[in-house]
Every structure is written in C-alpha cells, then in structure tokens.
Amino acid sequence: MVNTTQRFPLRVKAVMVDLDGTLADTIPDLAAAANRMLREIGRPGLDEALIRTFVGKGIPALVERALAGSLEGAVPEDIFRRALPIYERCYASVNGKHTTLFPGAREGLEVLRQAGFPLACVTNKAERFTLPLLDDLGIARYFSVVVAGDTLPQKKPDPGPLLYACQRLGIGSREMLMVGDSVNDAQAARAAGCPVFCVTYGYNEGQDVRTLDVDAIVSSLIEATRLIQKARS
C-alpha cells in the first residue's frame, strides 16, 4: 500500500537512496560488532532488537548509544574514545558478512537505471565501510555518486550531503528525490528542498515512519519506482 501527500504530482529527474535500513538490512553486522566491542571492554552484550533502535546517525552515535544502553544516553569521553576504534575494527571484520538486501531493492535499482534516472547513494556510514559493502551486495554499479558519512563534515539530517549529491549530478533539489527510512532522511530532504519517500521496514530509531513529513510511504523500493516513474517530468 502506498500513502502519498497533497504535494503530488512531483517532478523527479534523479534519485538518491539511503543504505542502512533502506537498501540493506545491516543490523546483523552492526549488532555483532557492537557486542564484540562491549565484550572487549568488559561489558555485557545487548539484544539485537535494542541495537536496531540505535542505528541512523552514524557509527559514533551507535557506539555511544551501545555504551549507554539507551537511545539518549551519554558516556564519559574517555570511555567513548577507547571504544570507538574497537568498534570500527570489529565492524570492519564483519561488514557485509550477514547483511542482505531488502526485498525489491535490487529490482527497484534496476528499474530506475533502465528508465534512465541518475542514482546516488547517500548514507551516514563511513566511506571505508560503504564502498566495500556496496560491492559485496552487487549494487555499486547502479550509483554514479556515493556520498558517505565522512565525505563532508556534515551528516544527515544536515542537508549538506543531499545538496552535494544534487550538485554532483547536476540536478536541482526540487527534482532530486530522496528515498530513505528515517527521520534523518526526512529532515535532510526537507531542509535541502528535495521530495522524500520513506519505506516502512527501516530502522528510524524505533519510531513509526508514518509520523514523518514525507511525500510518500512505500513498502519497498520497487513499489517506490512506480510512483517515481509517474512523477518524472
């Protein structure tokens, strides 16, 4: 089922897609790395379901939340500085091992490519993890632009990464659609002046995406392509 807003019809010339929670279910790898980190520093592990709510604002935020055991928790700076490189080492060892594409993700990218839409991947995941993962998943070839969490000083929900992708593709923000799964994607898109769709199955820090200010809620990327093709100018 597709839910849309009164902003339709849209004019779409290119598409940006989030990675974690939109294209791929990366939680098994992220959770495995978090629990390895916690064990190394002498702390008990956490349930994967809880770690799922910590994902969305990049690895440093995930590490701090895992250390605190809560979404809004904080930890002493010295503990965080010790744990962060441990997490990065642990995640590098498992990145892509248990990650899978969501149903309709590959098919949606193929439909968009065949229809001639330029594609960008815009993620808060660091480039050293993003590029190998896209390769492992077999979808790197779809993206002419990849904006990772450390490409710029800013991350989503700052609009900077989205505007950078627009600039790289030569597309105005009003004609550059963001497809994501979270408040970070929705807020970044609105701030950048981009239309935005959200999928129902992502992470969104444990919140329901139906509460977000978006142009459409879709159950899969392949479902989103039907709206995108209708919205093409």
CA atoms of 184 and 18, how far apart (whole Å): 10
Whole-angstrom distance, CA of residue 49 vs CA of residue 204? 13
Judged on CB neighbours under 10 Å (0-12, 13-18, 19+), 185 is buried
- 43-52 pLDDT tens trace: 999 999 999 9
Where do the domains of the chain lie? 3-25+99-230, 27-94
Q: Give CA–CA dist 191/189, Å, rounded.
A: 5
SS3 216: strand
From the list 127, 129, 105, the residue with the least C-alpha distance to 24 is 105
Q: Which of the residues are catalytic?
A: 18
Interval 99-115 mean pLDDT: 97
The pLDDT of residue 58 is above 70: yes
Q: Assess whether pLDDT exceeds 80 at residue 7.
A: no
**3-25+99-230, CATH topology level:** Rossmann fold (3.40.50)
- Other residues' Cβ atoms within 10 Å of the Cβ of residue 204: 25
Percent of the chain's residues with pLDDT above 90: 87
Task: Give the pLDDT confidence score for residue 57 in this predicted structure.
Answer: 84
What is the tens place of the pLDDT at every residue in 140-195?
Answer: 999 999 999 999 999 999 999 999 999 999 999 999 999 999 999 999 999 999 99
pLDDT at 24: 98
**Does the 27-94 domain belong in CATH 3.40.50.10790?**
no
Q: Do 123 and 23 touch, CB atoms closer than 8 A?
A: no
Sequence-ordered list of residues with C-beta below 8 angstroms from that of 224, at least 6 positions apart, any chain? 108, 179, 197, 199, 216, 218
* pTM given for the model: 0.92
Residue 232 pLDDT > 90: no
Supply angle C-alpha 5, 10, 13, rounded to 5: 145
**pLDDT tier at 6 (50, 70, 90 boundaries)?**
low
Task: Specify the pLDDT at position 188.
Answer: 98
How far is 218 from 209, CA to CA, in rounded Å? 10
Q: Give the residue-averaged pLDDT of 93-105.
A: 97
Residue 8 has pLDDT above 80, yes or no: no
Are 142 and 119 contacting, i.e. CB atoms less than 8 angstroms apart? yes
Quickly state the pLDDT bin for 91 (edges 50, 70, 90): very high
Choose among 101, 119, 140: nearest CA to 228.
119
pLDDT of residue 230: 77
Q: What is the mean pLDDT of the chain?
A: 94
What pLDDT sits at residue 5? 64
Residues 6 or more apart whose CB falls under 8 angstroms from that of 179 comprise: 15, 16, 17, 18, 22, 185, 196, 197, 198, 199, 221, 224
- Sign of the alpha-carbon torsion through 27, 29, 30, 32: positive
Q: Which of 15-19, 52-56, 182-186 has the lowest mean pLDDT?
A: 52-56
Torsion sign over Cα 103, 106, 110, 112: positive
Work out the average pLDDT over 87-112: 97
